Amino acid sequence: MEIDIRLIPYPPPSNSLIHRTVVVIDVLRATSVIVYAISQGAVEILPVITVEEALDRAKEVPRGSAILGGERESKKIQGFDLGNSPKEYVAETLRGKKVILTTTNGTKAFHFVSAGKEIFVGSFLNLGAVAKKCLEFDHDLLIFPSGDEGNFSLEDTVCGGMLIERIMKREGKPIALTDASQCAHILYQRFEGNLIEAFNRSYHGKELIRRGFREDLDDCARIDITDIVPVFRDGVIKAN
Amino acid sequence: MEIDIRLIPYPPPSNSLIHRTVVVIDVLRATSVIVYAISQGAVEILPVITVEEALDRAKEVPRGSAILGGERESKKIQGFDLGNSPKEYVAETLRGKKVILTTTNGTKAFHFVSAGKEIFVGSFLNLGAVAKKCLEFDHDLLIFPSGDEGNFSLEDTVCGGMLIERIMKREGKPIALTDASQCAHILYQRFEGNLIEAFNRSYHGKELIRRGFREDLDDCARIDITDIVPVFRDGVIKAN
């Protein structure tokens, strides 16, 4: 198995993806929200790019069957039910419902990698389960951090590095690492045992603290709280 | 001062460069060759993108006044005088001459960042002098690793991280680091005192060893052997 990671969230050429597993990561906060929401009983998540598209899709489903969630500039969107904090996505609100989600970076990323052989949703919350799933499929792996408005994201790459660490620890066979995945692995080793330090040093982490979302950082730094590995397929994210 | 680093060698938007100092780095081997060649007395280096352009430019100058140098797939180009090993670029061959240079990654990078306010050539060979020069100019800084055929390069980024370390150590005022420049700085800290390990682990380092250029790795890992900071301006690289 070869593991690569796309350090800058430019869309990869589609033909480079068709034989590879892709793991999309947006630690702060889209993929943490998605993993948590599915673990709390949401039936599916529809990641859409624009607010308009989210509102349109909500009109297509029976009233009360869908929750509108997401953010712009980290804040809940006007007229939406939920923002982009994992703690909002609890069983009482979600059970049996569909979530239509639009965020600045994360929801876009899924569409960039839609040509992947299988596409998993990764976060610290489900990292061990994602590692296990990648090894079961045993394809070459591309980790795709959603980044920060087109830029490199420290916290997403640290999470990617932890996924690499977990896969290497579990796998008996040698794993080939590219320069980029070696970089992510070294970053993870630097912040191992202190993920919050990486969040506090990252641009997006600092922005969230400034805007009053410090608690979300703690929530998104919880490791292996669920075995759910959501799958993105045909435009929709489901439990499997 | 803010320091950013472009982890993937895509051309930055020109308007993002006009107020910034840019340092181009291609440790293995173009910028190491350029710095060494200028330190050995080459009058100027003309970085060109194609072999054809190199041959055309050679015809424009008086016979014997220019040296043709560079590589394709790491090897000397047919009909050229020199390859891409620093040790070939010695005073006896170069003094008073112009070098027309074309390499796979490095020479292209200069043209990507030609809108920079000032553009310096960086390598381990002249790193302390580059740090000093950046602080003298005191503009925001973009470090531009040439990468590896469009991909992230471990050794270039480690060199960028060492430049950040040197600037931070010299500067009294606080330096703002982006997520990307924090990443480069952490990578440098990982390989501090053992640059050759970074080269041995990198894709391009391994390729060079496989092709018989191991000695070049040692030559390119020498730190601060010259105070020359070559400048790229109007398509040409000169001592200042």
B105: contact with A, CB 8 A cutoff: no
Cβ neighbors of B176 (< 8 A, separation 6 or more) are B1, B2, B3
The amino acid present at A181, given as its one-letter code, is S
**Cα B108 to Cα B232: distance, rounded to the nearest angstrom:** 12
In angstroms, rounded to a whole number, what is the distance separating the alpha carbons of residues A155 and A204?
Answer: 8
A146 in contact with B, Cβ within 8 Å? no
Q: Does A183 touch chain B (CB under 8 A)?
A: yes
In whole angstroms, give the CA distance from residue A200 to residue B215. 42
Give the DSSP H/E element, type plus range, for residue B180.
helix B179-191
Q: Which of residues 152-171 of A touch B (CB under 8 A)?
A: 152-154, 157
Please list, residue by residue across B122-138, b when 16 or more beta carbons sit within 10 angstroms of its beta carbon and e when fewer do: bbbbbbbbbbebbbeee
Please tell me the distance from the alpha carbon of residue B187 to that of residue A25, in angstroms, as a whole number.
21
Both tokens assigned to A159: 């999470």
Report the pLDDT value the prediction gives residue B125, as an integer from 0 to 100: 98
How far B147 CA lies from chain A's nearest CA (Å)?
10
| H or E segment and range at residue B45 | strand B44-47
Domain A2-238 carries which CATH code? 3.90.1560.10
Q: Which of B152, B179, B204 faces A151 most closely, judged by CB atoms?
A: B179
Q: Helix crossing, B179-191 with A154-170: angle to 10°?
A: 40
Cβ burial A3-28 (10 Å sphere, 16+ → b, else e): bbbbbbbeebeeeebeebbbbbbbbb
Mutate to test the interface with A, among B177, B186, B199 (most CBs of A within 10 A): B186
Nearest partner of A195 among A165, A222, A168, judged by Cα = A222
Q: Which two tokens stand for residue B61?
A: 């100058």
Q: Cβ of B152 and A186 within 8 Å?
A: no
Q: Does B201 touch chain A (CB under 8 A)?
A: yes
3-state secondary structure (DSSP) of residue B8 = coil
Q: Taking the domains of chain B in order of start, what are their residue ranges?
A: 2-238
Nearest residue to A128 (alpha-carbon basis) of A231, A1, A224: A224
Segments in chain B below pLDDT 70: none
Model confidence pLDDT, tens digit, residues B158-174: 999 999 999 999 988 88
- Angle, CA of A219, A220 and A222, to the nearest 5°: 75
Contacts of A12 in chain B (CB under 8 A): none
Of the partner residues B7, B178, B201, the one whose CB lies closest to the CB of residue A182: B201
pLDDT by residue, tens only, chain A of 240 residues: 999 999 999 999 889 999 999 999 999 999 999 999 999 999 999 999 999 999 999 999 998 999 999 999 999 999 999 999 999 999 999 999 999 999 999 899 999 999 999 999 999 999 999 999 999 999 999 999 999 999 999 999 999 999 999 999 998 888 999 999 999 999 999 999 999 999 999 999 999 999 999 999 999 999 999 999 999 999 999 998
Q: Interface pTM (ipTM) of the complex?
A: 0.96
- Select from B164, B101, B228, B180 the least CA-distant residue to A9: B180
CB B157 within 8 A of CB B174: no
What span, in angstroms and rounded, lies between the C-alpha atoms of B230 and B68? Answer: 19
* Sheet of B118-122, strands arranged across: B75-76, B66-72, B98-102, B44-47, B236-238, B231-233, B118-122, B20-25, B140-145, B2-5, B176-177
CA distance B3 to A229: 37
Helix (H) or strand (E) holding B142, with range, is strand B140-145
Could you tell me where the DSSP H helices lie in chain A? 30-39, 51-59, 91-94, 106-112, 127-137, 154-170, 179-191, 195-201, 203-210, 214-220
What pairs with residue B120 in β-bridges?
A: B23, B231
The two tokens of residue A11 are 């869309």
Token duo for residue B106: 């490095």
- According to the model, what pLDDT value does residue B173 have? 84
Long-range residue pairs from A54-60, CB within 8 A, at least 24 positions apart, any chain: A54/A80, A54/A100, A54/A101, A54/A102, A55/A79, A57/A100, A58/A100
Decide if A9 contacts B7 (C-beta within 8 A). no
- Which residue of B lies nearest to A182 if distances are taken between CA atoms? B154
Residue B89 CB contacts under 8 Å (≥ 6 apart), including other chains: B33, B36, B37, B40, B42, B69, B82, B99
CA distance linking residue A182 with residue B151, whole number of Å: 13
Give the CA-trace dihedral at A183, A187, A192, A195, to 10 degrees: -130
- How many H helices and E strands in chain B? 10, 11
